[in-house]
Amino acid sequence: MIVPGASSQALAAALTDELGESLAAVTYDRFPDGETYAAVPAFDADRAVIVAATDTNDAWVELLQLQDAVREAGATEVVTVIPYMGYARQDEAFETGAPVSARAMARAVSTGADRVVLVNPHERSVTDFFDAHVTVCDAAGRLAEPLPEDLAEPLFLAPDAGALSLAESTCASYGDGEADYFEKTRYSGTDVEITPSDADTEGRDVVIVDDIVATGSTMSQAIAHLRNDGAARVFAACIHPILARNARTKLERAGVERIVGTDTVERDVSAVSVAPIVAAAVDAVEAN
C-alpha cells in the first residue's frame, strides 16, 4: 500500500503504477489550534510505503503521524520514502548551541521506519544520522529527459564543486556536451557570490544543474553571469525545486530559458518523475 504525504500526492500516485500497489485514501486535517492530523483508512497490506517530502514543518509532523497511523492500521513493515528531506542542510552545529537539525529529524523518523529511502539528500553523510536502514537514489540523470534535443554545444555547469557530479550525471544522460563548475562563496542565507568557470560559454546552450533551488540566489547569479558572458539559452535544472519566496522571479529576471525539476518537491516546474528510481530502490530494499 502506498501512503502519500500531503505534499507528495502526485509522486505517490506515480509510484503505485511502478510498484503495482494501491494508493491509500489518506485524510489530512487541522485542528482549530493549528495541530495537524493525517490518518489512513483500514487496509490489509502488510507493507506500507509512505511517500512524504518534508519541505515544511507540517509535512514532518504529518510524516510522523502517518508512520504511527499505518502501524495502528496493521502494517507490519513501514518503508518511509522522503523524496526531499528538509533540514538536511543543517547537518552540523554551525555555532555553539546550534542544533544538528538533520540528526534530530532523522532520529525522529527512524523510530517509525523499518527502512528509509532518500532522493539526493544534500550530503550523503546525512544517512549516518538515521537508525534505520537508508537507501539513497540519484535522480540527476532524470534531469536530461525534459531538456530540448537540440541543445547547441551543451555545457552542463554546477554552481559549485560539490554539485559537479550532478552536472556530470545529467550530461552523461543527455549524451552530449561537457560538464564544469563555478566557484561559489555563501556569505549568509541569500548572500552568495559566484565566480565564473573557465569554460567557454559564448554562443553555447548552458544547463546549470544543482540539487536544490531554494531562495534562487545561487541559480540566478549563475544565470546572470552566463547571460553577460554571451551564452545562448540558459536552463536551470535541479532535483528539488523548492523555489521559496521570490526565487522564481529572480530566475526569470536573470534570463532563464526554462526551469526544470523533478517531483521530489511538487511544483509546476516538476517536469520529470523520480518514481522509476524510487520504485527500484524500494524493490532493492525489499531484496536485501
Considering the complex, what minimum distance in angstroms separates the CB of residue 218 from ligand R5P? 3
For residue 138, the cross-strand partners are none
Considering the complex, what minimum distance in angstroms separates the CB of residue 140 from ligand R5P? 12
Has 184 been annotated as catalytic? yes
- The sign one gets for the Cα dihedral 227, 231, 232, 237 is negative
Considering the complex, what minimum distance in angstroms separates the CB of residue 128 from ligand R5P? 19
Site for ligand R5P in 170-209 (CB under 6 A): 192
Check binding of 121 to ligand R5P (CB under 6 A).
no
Q: Strand 77-82 to strand 47-51: parallel, antiparallel, or no bridges (unpaired)?
A: parallel
Q: Which of 184, 225, 240, 250 is catalytic?
A: 184
Site for ligand R5P in 207-226 (CB under 6 A): 210-219
For residue 206, the cross-strand partners are 155, 234
Check binding of 91 to ligand R5P (CB under 6 A).
no
Considering the complex, what minimum distance in angstroms separates the CB of residue 154 from ligand R5P? 21
Q: What single DSSP character describes residue 1?
A: -
Which one, 210 or 263, has the nearer CB to ligand R5P? 210
Placement of cell 502501524 in the chain: 71
For residue 26, give Cα distances in angstroms to 18, 62, 68, 183: 20, 11, 13, 44
C-alpha cell at 120: 539526493
Residues with a catalytic annotation lie at: 184
For binding to ligand R5P (CB under 6 A), which residues are involved?
Answer: 159, 162-163, 192, 210-219
